[in-house]
Amino acid sequence: MRILELPIEYEFNNQKSYLYPSLIVKDNDLTLVDTGYPGFLPLIEHEILKNGFTISQLKQIIITHYDDDHIGSLYEFKQKYPWIQVISSAIEAKYICGAEKSERLVQAEQMLEQMTGEAADFGNWFVQQLNNLQHAAVDQTVQDGDMILDNQCKIIATPGHTSGHISLYFPAIKAVVTGDAAVAENGQLIVANPQFCLNLEQAEHSLNKVKNLGAKKYFCYHGGNISVNSTVI
Q: What is the pLDDT of residues 21-56, one digit of tens each?
A: 999 999 999 999 999 999 999 999 999 999 999 999
Residue 232, pLDDT score: 40
Whether the per-residue pLDDT at 231 is higher than 80: the answer is no
- Mean pLDDT for the chain overall: 96
Is there a contact between 18 and 11 (Cβ–Cβ < 8 Å)? no
Mean of pLDDT values over 109-124:
95
Query: How far, in Å, CA of 181 to CA of 190, rounded?
Result: 8
Percent of the chain with pLDDT over 70: 98
Full set of structural domains in the chain with CATH: 2-101+135-227 (3.60.15.10)
Give the residue from 173, 171, 180 showing the smallest Cα distance to 3.
173
- Burial tier of 72 (Cβ tally within 10 Å: 0-12, 13-18, 19+): buried
State the average pLDDT over residues 103-132: 95
What's the pLDDT tens digit per position in 181-207?
999 999 999 999 999 999 999 999 999
Mean pLDDT of 113-131: 95
CA distance 197 to 206: 12
Instruction: Name the DSSP class of 121.
Output: H
pTM of the entire predicted model = 0.95
